[in-house]
């Protein structure tokens, strides 16, 4: 069993009481805390101890907290540093971020804000470490360059590929259409000791039922009308390699019986033949169906299911790994820009937002299609929203999703009706700042009302952080 490491946090603050207070609340969260009260002491302890995270005040008695940040980053490039200050300014925040700070908290801050910031930072570091370890182990395998993803779901899939590939066991890859099941199957093959032998792909839904047996097992001359010579089947073609059965759920029951026998006996007999041949084939299957349900309803043999499903991999749909959308879009944009001879370098922020809001029922395949068309249609070196060619029903889904928010659905028009007027009829003009302040206050109150005065829910309704909501409520003196 792997030992769970307790995160080590260093607090640097010249105010002893604040350091002690932070030690109390962070120790309760299970962190291992060390405290120093000066920049000099911070330099000393960093020379002899490593930490996962530093919480450091900007203004220290003997030095600037930015110097501690720079020194820590010089010693440990991957260390996370969160700066804080009672004299927060934009310049301080920018300087801290430019020097590698993960976050910047103005004092006084809510305890929950600090705990939330630490949790996100440490989780981010953990995922980065996993990805770095994976990159190191796969750096010589060019095939993995074709599988794009940094989301936790895909990192988990990559780790499973590493574990599964060296074995001889059969694998079922499940997932919606367009999620990249064949890519995963090829990755398993290319990481196995069968990589120098054939990888044979079979679309089980694309072979007429009356030809399936001869396609899988081959036939001998004279087996049926038109069989003028012997022909190897797909099993024989994949000997010593991998046979990838795509959409295995489409196999008719009669062929399922014969497939089960071939897997169990590791022998095949061509149609019309009398001699059995030994075969050495690893089976990897893919399906977008729930095979367990197919078994229950009698459409898929239970014994074949358990023979194939020694190891199962489930590929998450693209809507469940939104953080991969921009990575994939950039990959496809680079690919089709090279193919078309165009110099398209990036997505506009609004185009990226539209993609992030869409659910992609066609998954990665659909995203690739959208980007390919966008590159073809784009007349600039940046993909704009109008180049995305999203069809009407897609745009309608995005619009309906946004309109489902209770704050915006019914209450938005009354807000704006309060401020509808002809500027030409107002001789002295208007005070735009006052109008915007009034609008913001009304939206804050409506969000609180719609959420039952739950601030966490209200911040989500307004698409702002909990910290930002607290700041705005305080600014408007709303309890």
At 149-201, the pLDDT tens digits run 888 888 889 889 989 999 999 999 999 999 999 999 999 999 999 999 999 99
The burial of 17, by beta-carbon neighbours within 10 Å (0-12 exposed, 13-18 middle, 19 or more buried), is given as exposed
- Of 142 and 257, more confident: 257
Q: Is the pLDDT of residue 21 over 50?
A: yes
Q: Which of 85-94, 179-188, 389-398 has the highest mean pLDDT?
A: 179-188
**Contact between residue 333 and residue 383 where contact means Cβ atoms under 8 Å apart:** yes
**Contact between residue 374 and residue 388 where contact means Cβ atoms under 8 Å apart:** yes
- Taking residue 373's Cβ as centre, other Cβ atoms within 10 Å add up to 15
Q: State the Cα–Cα distance between residues 23 and 9, nearest whole angstrom.
A: 9
Q: Is the pLDDT of residue 12 over 50?
A: yes
Q: State the Cα–Cα distance between residues 42 and 36, nearest whole angstrom.
A: 6
pLDDT above 90: percentage of residues in the chain: 34
Q: Is the pLDDT of residue 271 over 60?
A: yes
**Contact between residue 407 and residue 417 where contact means Cβ atoms under 8 Å apart:** no
Q: Is the pLDDT of residue 403 over 50?
A: no
**Average pLDDT value for residue range 374-389:** 80
* CA torsion angle 26 28 32 36 (round to 10): 40
- Of 232 and 412, more confident: 232
**Average pLDDT value for residue range 291-301:** 93
The string over 459-476, giving b where at least 16 C-beta atoms fall within 10 Å of a residue's C-beta and e elsewhere, is bbbbebebbebbebbeee
**Contact between residue 246 and residue 186 where contact means Cβ atoms under 8 Å apart:** no
Q: Is the pLDDT of residue 343 over 70?
A: yes
- pLDDT at residue 409, rounded to an integer: 38
Q: State the Cα–Cα distance between residues 425 and 229, nearest whole angstrom.
A: 92
Q: Is the pLDDT of residue 295 over 80?
A: yes
Chain centroid offset of residue 73 CA:
28
Place of tokens 């940040």: 69
98-137 tens-digit pLDDT: 888 888 888 777 888 888 888 888 877 776 666 665 555 4
Instruction: State the SS3 of the chain.
Output: CCCCCCCEEEEECCCHHHHHHHHHHHHHCCCEEEEECCHHHHHHHHHHCCCCEEEEECECCCCEHHHHHHHHHHHCCCCEEEEEECCCCHHHHHHHHHCCCCEEEECCCCHHHHHHHHHHHHHHHHHHHHHHHHHHHHCCCHHHHHCCCCCHHHHHHHHHHHHHCCCCCCEEEECCCCCCHHHHHHHHHHCCCCCCCCEEEEECCCCCHHHHHHHHHCECCCCCCCCCCCECCHHHHCCCCEEEEECHHHCCHHHHHHHHHHHHHCEECCECCCCCEECCCEEEEEECCCHHHHHHCCCCCHHHHHHHCCEEEECCCHHHCHHHHHHHHHHHHHHHHHHHCCCCCEECHHHHHHHHHCCCCCHHHHHHHHHHHHHHHCCCCEECHHHCCCCHHHHHHHHHHHHCCHHHHCCHHHHHHCCCCCHHHCCCCCCHHHHHHHHHHHHHHHHHHHCCCCHHHHHHHCCCCHHHHHHHHHHCCCC
Chain centroid offset of residue 58 CA:
34
The domains of the chain, with CATH numbers, are: 8-130 (3.40.50.2300), 165-314 (3.40.50.300), 319-403 (1.10.8.60), 406-475 (1.10.10)
Q: Is the pLDDT of residue 145 over 80?
A: no
Q: Is the pLDDT of residue 412 over 50?
A: no
Q: Is the pLDDT of residue 405 over 80?
A: no
Q: State the Cα–Cα distance between residues 71 and 39, nearest whole angstrom.
A: 10
Q: State the Cα–Cα distance between residues 80 and 69, nearest whole angstrom.
A: 9
Beta strand 346-347 with 53-57: parallel, antiparallel or unpaired? unpaired
26-59 tens-digit pLDDT: 998 889 999 999 889 999 999 998 899 999 998 8
- pLDDT at residue 77, rounded to an integer: 84
- pLDDT at residue 123, rounded to an integer: 79
Q: State the Cα–Cα distance between residues 186 and 51, nearest whole angstrom.
A: 40
pTM of this structure: 0.55
- Taking residue 141's Cβ as centre, other Cβ atoms within 10 Å add up to 15
Q: Where is average pLDDT lowest: 16-20, 141-145, 373-377?
A: 141-145
Q: Which of 16-30, 300-314, 462-476 has the highest mean pLDDT?
A: 300-314
Cis peptide before 289 (omega within 30 of 0): no
Place of tokens 């599964």: 164
Sign of CA dihedral 460, 325, 205, 198: negative
Q: Is the pLDDT of residue 242 over 90?
A: yes
| Mean of the per-residue pLDDT values of the chain | 82
- pLDDT at residue 194, rounded to an integer: 94
- Taking residue 173's Cβ as centre, other Cβ atoms within 10 Å add up to 25
Q: State the Cα–Cα distance between residues 184 and 174, nearest whole angstrom.
A: 10
Q: Which of 88-92, 104-108, 326-330, 393-397 has the highest mean pLDDT?
A: 326-330
């Amino acid at each position: 069993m792997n030992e769970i490491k307790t995160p080590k946090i260093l607090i640097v603050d010249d105010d002893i009481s604040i350091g002690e207070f932070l030690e109390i609340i962070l120790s309760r969260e299970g962190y291992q805390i060390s405290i120093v009260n000066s920049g000099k002491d911070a330099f000393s302890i960093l020379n002899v101890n490593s930490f996962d995270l530093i919480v450091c005040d900007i203004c220290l008695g003997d030095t600037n907290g930015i110097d501690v940040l720079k020194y820590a980053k010089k010693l440990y490039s991957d260390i996370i540093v969160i700066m804080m200050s009672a004299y927060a300014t934009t310049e301080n925040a920018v300087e801290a971020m430019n020097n590698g700070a993960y976050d910047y908290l103005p004092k006084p801050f809510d305890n929950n804000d600090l705990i939330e910031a630490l949790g996100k930072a440490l989780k981010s570091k953990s995922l980065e470490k996993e990805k770095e370890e994976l990159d190191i182990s796969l750096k010589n395998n060019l095939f993995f360059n074709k599988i794009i993803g940094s989301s936790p779901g895909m990192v988990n899939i990559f780790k499973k590929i590493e574990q599964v590939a060296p074995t001889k066991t059969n694998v079922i890859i499940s997932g919606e259409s367009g999620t990249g099941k064949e890519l995963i199957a090829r990755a398993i093959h290319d990481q196995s000791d069968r990589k120098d032998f054939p990888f044979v792909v079979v679309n089980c839904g694309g072979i007429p039922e009356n030809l399936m047996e001869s396609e899988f097992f081959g036939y001998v001359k004279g087996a049926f009308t038109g069989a003028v010579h012997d022909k190897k089947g797909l099993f024989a073609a994949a000997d010593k390699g991998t046979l990838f059965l795509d959409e295995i759920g489409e196999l008719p029951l009669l062929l399922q019986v014969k497939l089960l026998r071939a897997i169990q006996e590791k022998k095949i007999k061509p149609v019309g033949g009398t001699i059995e041949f030994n075969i050495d084939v690893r089976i990897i299957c893919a399906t977008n169906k729930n095979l367990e349900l197919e078994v229950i309803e009698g459409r898929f043999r239970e014994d074949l299911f358990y023979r194939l499903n020694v190891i199962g991999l489930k590929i998450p749909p693209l809507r469940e790994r939104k953080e991969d959308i921009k990575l994939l879009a950039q990959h496809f944009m680079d690919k089709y820009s090279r193919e078309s001879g165009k110099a398209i370098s990036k997505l506009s922020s609004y185009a990226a937002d539209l993609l992030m809001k869409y659910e992609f029922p066609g998954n990665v395949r659909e995203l690739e299609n959208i980007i390919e068309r966008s590159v073809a249609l784009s007349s600039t070196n940046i993909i704009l929203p109008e180049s995305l060619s999203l069809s009407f029903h897609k745009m309608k889904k995005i619009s309906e999703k946004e309109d489902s928010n209770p704050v915006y659905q019914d209450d938005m028009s009354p807000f704006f009706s309060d401020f509808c007027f002809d500027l030409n009829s107002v001789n002295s003009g208007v005070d735009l700042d006052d109008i915007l302040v009034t609008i913001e206050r009304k939206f804050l109150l409506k969000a609180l009302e719609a959420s039952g005065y739950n601030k966490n829910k209200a911040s989500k309704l307004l698409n702002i952080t909990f910290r930002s909501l607290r700041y705005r409520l305080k600014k408007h003196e709303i309890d």
